[in-house]
Amino acid sequence: MLTSAVKFENSEAFARELDSQDELSVYRNEFFIPTRESLDGKAPRAVQQPEGEKCIYLAGNSLGLQPKNVHKYISEELEDWASFGVEGHWNSRHPWLPYHEFLTEMSARVVGAKPIEVVVMNTLTGNLHLMMVSFYRPEKTRYKILVEAGAFPSDQYAVASQAKFHGHDPKDAIVELKPRQGEDTLRTEDILDVLDKQGETIALVLLGNVNYLTGQAFQVAPIAAKAHEKGCNIGLNLAHGAGNLHLQLHDWDVDFAVWCSYKYLNSGPGSLAGCFVHERHQNNFDLPRFAGWWGHNKETRFKMGPEFEPLPGAEGWQLSNPPIFQLAALRASLELFDKAGMKNLRAKGDLLTGYLEFLLSDISKTYLSIITPSDPSQRGSQLSIRFVANPKEMLGAFKEEGVICDFREPDIIRATPVPLYNTFVDVYKFAQIIRRFAKNG
């Protein structure tokens, strides 16, 4: 059993020892992992583990790897479509009519919510807009949106367009939280302070949890409490949080949250998104919302009447009947999360990331610095490493050594050891490449 009290050592033997004690190591074999040969196009293409030496895949924050069961689950739907045609809505092994419901409880467990509070639907930015339609309700003196500076561009566009949609100038309506001079991440006390001073003018607080660039996870509970004390709604974009952090959305008491499932949730490129609406809004049918037939009362949906009658809870925000193949992919992935348990995954994730931080800790600050907070409660698996000297050359070296991680201009490399499929040896080898490079560079 791995425990957080472990004293790290910089050796491959030690990394191997950690892997041998890791009860979650069995999950690595549930995923296909690209190899140097497959990246070069030299391995035969097939839905199987590619031949050759496995890459050190540290990009699960960007696109999660493919669970092996995805192929089986999608194939079943292809077979049932062939066998049943339209009757598959009722007669397939996993009937399509209620298919999204097969994912609800597992999704709820991943994000720390009650089943009534979550639904899988649409894609991320779409859900963000739907939630802002309901929870960004600007009034005369309370019309601002509080966001972190440097939010993911899609969020910036979405927020600005919502402000404009309500007739506000985004320059006036959007308040950005910026780190203090000389710091890279936000302090909770500073966020609370802004809410204390400006809360009466803020209609909505919207935070990414984790911030995609810095890897900072915000301390949501006190921020949500302060936001509500000041009469603001609060929502989270969990693109980098769902499947990464041990989330407690219900207890944290946020009004809404949205996330995608192709990053840490491993459900494939462009896959579906999730949405959380707190239980206290479940029967609030007066909230303005954009409606579609899948959000309508299931009992009377096919009566095709003209009056929209929303379902209670998050399901009431659905628009369309969802894409079944994509739901099948997500179901395969969520089953792994359910078996492993988010709490256990986070515990291993803290060790993996802590180990990476330890291995880089004695490299000169003139060469690199880690901008992600070192406090494990303020981060997930991702470490954002600023390469002061030559990030592009470092990237070249990674490529040669079969490392996949990602780069954000001008100098940030995001490296994410994911507890479901990365190993301590992955982390060790990755750090060795950097150490070698730092010494020679």
Q: For binding to ligand PLP (CB under 6 A), which residues are involved?
A: 123-125, 152, 154-155, 208, 212, 237, 239-240, 260
Nearest to 128 by CA among 286, 290, 285, 19: 290
Closer residue to ligand PLP, CB minimum distance, 35 or 125: 125
Residues pairing with 296 in the sheet: 310
Closer residue to ligand PLP, CB minimum distance, 262 or 430: 262
Closer residue to ligand PLP, CB minimum distance, 237 or 422: 237
How far is it, in rounded angstroms, from Cα 14 to Cα 231? 51
Angstrom CA distances, 413 to 55, 91, 282, 386, 407, stand at 17, 48, 41, 6, 5
Token couple for 216: 């900072």
CB of 48 to ligand PLP, least distance (A): 28
Nearest to 242 by CA among 104, 342, 111: 111
Closer residue to ligand PLP, CB minimum distance, 270 or 441: 270
CB of 273 to ligand PLP, least distance (A): 6
CB of 112 to ligand PLP, least distance (A): 19
Closer residue to ligand PLP, CB minimum distance, 371 or 431: 371
CB of 210 to ligand PLP, least distance (A): 9
CB of 107 to ligand PLP, least distance (A): 16
How far is it, in rounded angstroms, from Cα 62 to Cα 53? 22
Closer residue to ligand PLP, CB minimum distance, 272 or 352: 272
CB of 260 to ligand PLP, least distance (A): 4
CB of 316 to ligand PLP, least distance (A): 21
CB of 290 to ligand PLP, least distance (A): 16
How far is it, in rounded angstroms, from Cα 408 to Cα 385? 10
Closer residue to ligand PLP, CB minimum distance, 123 or 321: 123
Closer residue to ligand PLP, CB minimum distance, 50 or 235: 235
CB of 6 to ligand PLP, least distance (A): 31
Closer residue to ligand PLP, CB minimum distance, 260 or 311: 260
Task: Assess contact for 266 and 64: CB atoms under 8 A.
Answer: yes
